[in-house]
Homo-oligomer: A and B are copies of this chain.
């Protein structure tokens, strides 16, 4: 599902057996209490996934923040409201975890995504910068 995406297709590996790098990354996420991987199922088929990283910080009176990332929907399920349901669930998870805000960044080339996030209540007040190492 990570590779079935305009951007992910260029940088992820859908081959079987699963690339060892994903197995190691899953173990790292699983052993840390603060990132949360979630999947959406339809009749035992995996149809969506996302990650929430709960991040403690000192700023804003020690406010916890939730970062929602790596959201993917299986292609037959796109455009049917599943993304909205998953985001609403993820926002509730952040609220229940005690976060004061939810953050995400979206590639500027994903133009339709911005409008979608605005309908969920997000505001685009920041620039998202990246440095490849």
Identify the A interface with B (CB < 8 A). 2, 8, 11-13, 19, 21-26, 28-29, 32-35, 37, 51, 53, 55-64, 67, 69-70, 91, 94-95, 99-109, 114, 117, 120-133
Contact = CB atoms under 8 A, between A and B. Distances in A.
Given A35-B56, A59-B12, A105 B123 contact: no
Stoichiometry, as copies per complex, reads 2
A32 B33 contact: yes
A128 B105 contact: yes
B100 A59 contact: no
A21 B28 CA distance: 28
Contacts of A56: 25, 28-29, 32, 35
A99 B132 CA distance: 9
A23 B105 CA distance: 29
Contact of A91 (B2, B19, B59, B131): B131
Given A8-B59, A108-B125, A124-B127, 4 more contacts: A11-B61, A25-B56, A25-B58, A32-B33
A122 B131 contact: yes
Contacts of A21: 61-62
